[in-house]
Chain A
Amino acid sequence: MSDYISHDHEHDGIDRRGFLQCMAWAGTGLLWTVSGGVLASKTLAQIAKAGNALPTTSDLSFLQISDSHIGFSKEANKDVTETFKIALDRINAMATPPAFLIHTGDITQLSKPEEFDTFDQVLKGCRTKDVFFVPGEHDVLNDGGKLYRERYLKSVGARGAGWYSFNKNGIHFIALVNVLNLQAGGLGQLGDEQLEWLEADVKSLGADTPIVVFAHIPLWAVYPQWGWGTSDSERALGYLKRFGSVTVLNGHIHQVLQKVEGNVTFHSAMSTAFPQPAPGTAASPGPMKVPAEKLRSMLGLTSIQYKQGKTALAVVDSNLS
């Protein structure tokens, strides 16, 4: 198949086919540039070849890690603490350290205090000290998230089940919780109280304020049959419709997937623990067993760069191999 562009509606050098081809490469290290809701991409190898290092002059660079699952010890990865350490080593080795990290949930496998302890202990080895958290369903298994909130959400003034917002370099960050009070037969859920808070939270912001939302379960219908979606996410996104740049980051599905809808870019990150199957390709979404030599290529982290004055956010996934 040749790489010609058949339809270039946006005059940006990328058509639907080109976009889908880029999607196929996601996960092997790509620089995604989002400009006015349109994607362009280069592989990391291409950037290195051209002598262009990743942007170092950007006003803000932060990093997303997700789904550490400390305590998991099954065949899919018998040492998740080690792969989490490797992810932190990668962060420590970055020429320009990220301003902060966000962890999009599932720190632990079973919400056990000793699993949280191990995570905290290993995290101490990270040069970047500021970390913002949102819980995954594995973090709130038996106590409705009480222990999690005490450990990770006290310093950010979280409300309700643990939602909060903050500003950095002109960007408004919103941390949402969609793993609690789930209903039989349903998906992830934000709930009325949180949605009302969200509406009020963004009300006074100008439409040119870049928005970054992060939550554990995807806020788009990735694959509802496996519970990979949030039942009331449409209402949340409705409150964000007027903004020119919205980036939504999630974990939960242990693989890179991206979708653009108007000015909203949805991006899901790899896990540092084990991969999960692509939507609908297995009997269930349980941990995916891959050959040992392949495992680290399916684990990873996500770097996000923002340059003030532009609507573009660059989202780069890199694996641990």
Chain B
Amino acid sequence: MTTFFLKNKLAILLFILTFFNALLFAFAGEKKEIEPPPTGQNKIEIKEFNFYPQTITVKSGEKITWVNRDEEPHTVVSVDQKFKKSSALDTDQEFTITAGVPGTYTYFCSVHPKMTGTIIVEK
């Protein structure tokens, strides 16, 4: 029962996050008409051995940047090697990829594999 509610909550949270993300892109889209597309808007912070946000939704062709805020090195490695892996990121170091083919991509830190995250790439 608890698991069911937890899953439900997660689903709601995911939905809200996706909704706000979509909203963000809507604004970004409007902004695009007046100035060049902003870069680094899809930022994932690595903090306290977690990826924040844990799930991010982006459009194909957009950049995604991770920044390590821990004192511990972390990596970003795609499960099944769907995108290039980062080298070990020291404190405040960044790693950027460009979102490719639409789909759902899971990744993890190969140093601390308990740390996982998801990227949803839309058209």
User: A: which residues have CB within 8 A of B?
Assistant: 74-76, 109-111, 137-138, 141-142, 182-187, 225-227, 283-287
Contact = CB atoms under 8 A, between A and B. Distances in A.
A284 B50 CA distance: 9
A167 B109 CA distance: 36
B113 A183 contact: yes
Nearest to A282: B48
Given A142-B87, A184-B106, A286-B48, A109 B116 contact: no
A287 B72 CA distance: 8
B80 to A, nearest CB: 9
A284 B49 contact: yes
B75 interface: yes
Contacts of A187: 113-114
Contacts, number: 58
20 contacts: A76-B71, A110-B88, A137-B112, A138-B111, A141-B73, A141-B75, A141-B87, A142-B88, A182-B110, A182-B111, A182-B113, A183-B113, A184-B113, A185-B114, A186-B113, A227-B114, A284-B49, A284-B50, A285-B49, A287-B72
A184 B72 contact: no
Interface bracket on B? 20 to 34
Nearest to A188: B113
B86 to A, nearest CB: 10
Contact of A138 (B71, B73, B108): B73
Contacts of B77: 184
A72 to B, nearest CB: 8
Interface in B87-110: 87-88, 90-91, 106-108, 110
B45 interface: no
Residue of B48, B50, B88 with highest tally of chain A CB at under 10 A: B88
A69 to B, nearest CB: 10
A226 B70 contact: no
Interface SS, B side: loop
Contacts of A111: 88
Given A142-B87, A284-B48, A285-B49, A185 B71 contact: no
A287 to B, nearest CB: 5
B44 to A, nearest CB: 16
A184 B48 contact: no
Given A74-B91, A284-B48, A185 B113 contact: yes
Interface in B58-90: 70-73, 75, 77, 79, 87-88, 90
A74 B88 contact: no
Nearest to B72: A286
Contacts of A225: 114
Contacts of B108: 184-185
Contacts of A110: 73, 88, 90
B114 A286 contact: no
Contacts of B107: 184
Contacts of A141: 73, 75, 87-88, 111
A185 B116 contact: yes
A185 B107 CA distance: 10
Contacts of A226: 49, 114
Contacts of B71: 74-76, 286-287
Interface in B13-60: 48-50
A239 B70 CA distance: 38
A283 B113 contact: no
Nearest to B48: A284
A109 B48 CA distance: 17
A227 B73 contact: no
